[in-house]
């Protein structure tokens, strides 16, 4: 059952739907009294600073009192919110890779099972596969440790219907070199990702580090840090022959979701900027070798984090809109 806000009983429990906002205000240095005033002014919540104090104490005793971002909402609001995220996440991530379905067409495919005339069958299959991969991500939220098998399952989802090739396997590491092209010193330049022979060892290191980071997204800043590390380190390796970008944008959201945040989605409209940021870092640090650091420090990482923080606003706004609907319903 969803959490229903009781506006007639002023207590710390009704602050649950506003958890992320309270944490953000605390990070900004606001006092408990000031936070209570913001909640009264912006949301009409009849709370005192004592209620905020006891809520934060309760939260300290249970670091993740409500793990999933949609849990505070009743079933109808939750369902609508999840549909929004599924459509946006699927459309944006597949469109970045060249899928031609619009957001509206993606919604029709996912919700109505329609076939869009004039659009390739491949584009429909990519949408279905990505939606299935999102479900797999949610199914992993209670998993203590992410394994190769989980990554291989995700790859099979996003790459479903792709013809099996010994050097380009689906659900296993790449068997041949892959790379990317960008501009260096005004000239087109091709740069390889990690070699196929180094990939298993590098992914063993990536998984070990990633599992340590699963529960570290305990604030918005730390959430951005964990997403950036997981994404950049994963695409430096580029462990699969194809589908790496979609997998990076899926798996990097696990720490955020496990900490009660909504997923961070990268808009298709900012595809060029996003690709440039990835290239700038890859170009700066060079090809990843077997024993080298997975993510050596460089100013380009800060640029990528700034970009991610901007993109995350869309998801946070969707949750806030759902919260406002709940508040209005219970006035």
Active site residues: 238
Alpha-carbon distance 89 to 9, whole Å? 37
Phi, psi for residue 197 in degrees, rounded to 5 = -70, -30
Count of CB atoms situated within 10 Å of the CB of 108: 17
Alpha-carbon distance 119 to 161, whole Å? 16
Count of CB atoms situated within 10 Å of the CB of 101: 21
Alpha-carbon distance 70 to 286, whole Å? 40
Alpha-carbon distance 20 to 46, whole Å? 18
Alpha-carbon distance 172 to 65, whole Å? 37
Token digits for 133?
A: 């991969």
| Size of the chain in residues | 331
Question: Quick one: 128 exposed, middle or buried, by C-beta within 10 A (0-12, 13-18, 19+)?
Answer: middle
Q: Is 184 helix (H, G, I), strand (E, B) or coil?
A: strand
Token digits for 83?
A: 């549909």
Q: Is 78 helix (H, G, I), strand (E, B) or coil?
A: helix
Is the distance from CB of 59 to CB of 89 less than 8 angstroms?
Answer: no
Token digits for 298?
A: 């460089």
Token digits for 5?
A: 């806000």
Rg (CA), the chain: 21
């Amino acid at each position: 059952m969803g959490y229903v806000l009781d506006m007639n009983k002023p207590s710390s429990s009704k602050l649950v739907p506003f958890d992320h906002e309270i944490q953000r205000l605390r990070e900004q240095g606001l006092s408990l009294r000031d936070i209570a005033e913001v909640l009264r002014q912006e949301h009409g919540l009849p709370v005192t600073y004592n209620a905020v104090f006891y809520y934060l104490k309760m939260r300290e005793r249970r670091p993740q009192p409500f793990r999933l971002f949609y849990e505070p909402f009743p079933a109808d609001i939750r369902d609508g919110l999840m549909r929004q995220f599924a459509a946006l996440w699927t459309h944006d991530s597949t469109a970045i890779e060249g899928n031609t379905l619009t957001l509206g067409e993606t919604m029709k495919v996912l919700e109505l099972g329609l076939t869009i005339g004039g659009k390739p069958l491949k584009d429909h299959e990519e949408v279905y596969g990505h939606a299935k991969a999102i479900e797999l991500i949610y199914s992993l939220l209670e998993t203590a440790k992410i394994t190769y098998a989980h990554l291989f399952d995700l790859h099979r989802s996003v790459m479903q219907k792709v013809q099996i090739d010994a050097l380009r396997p689906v659900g296993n590491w790449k068997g041949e070199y892959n790379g990317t092209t960008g501009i260096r010193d005004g000239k087109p330049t091709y740069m390889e990702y990690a070699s196929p022979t180094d990939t298993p060892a590098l992914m063993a290191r990536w998984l070990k580090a990633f599992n340590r980071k699963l529960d570290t997204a305990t604030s918005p800043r730390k959430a951005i840090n964990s997403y950036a590390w997981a994404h950049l380190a994963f695409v430096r390796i580029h462990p699969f022959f194809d589908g790496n970008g979609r997998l990076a944008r899926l798996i990097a959201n696990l720490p955020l979701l496990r900490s009660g945040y909504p997923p961070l989605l990268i808009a298709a409209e900012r595809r060029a900027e996003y690709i440039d940021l990835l290239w700038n870092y890859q170009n700066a640090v060079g090809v990843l070798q077997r024993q080298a650091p997975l993510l050596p420090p460089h100013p380009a990482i800060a640029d990528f984090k700034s970009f991610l923080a901007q993109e995350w606003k869309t998801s946070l706004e969707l949750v806030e809109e759902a919260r406002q609907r709940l508040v209005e319903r219970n006035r």
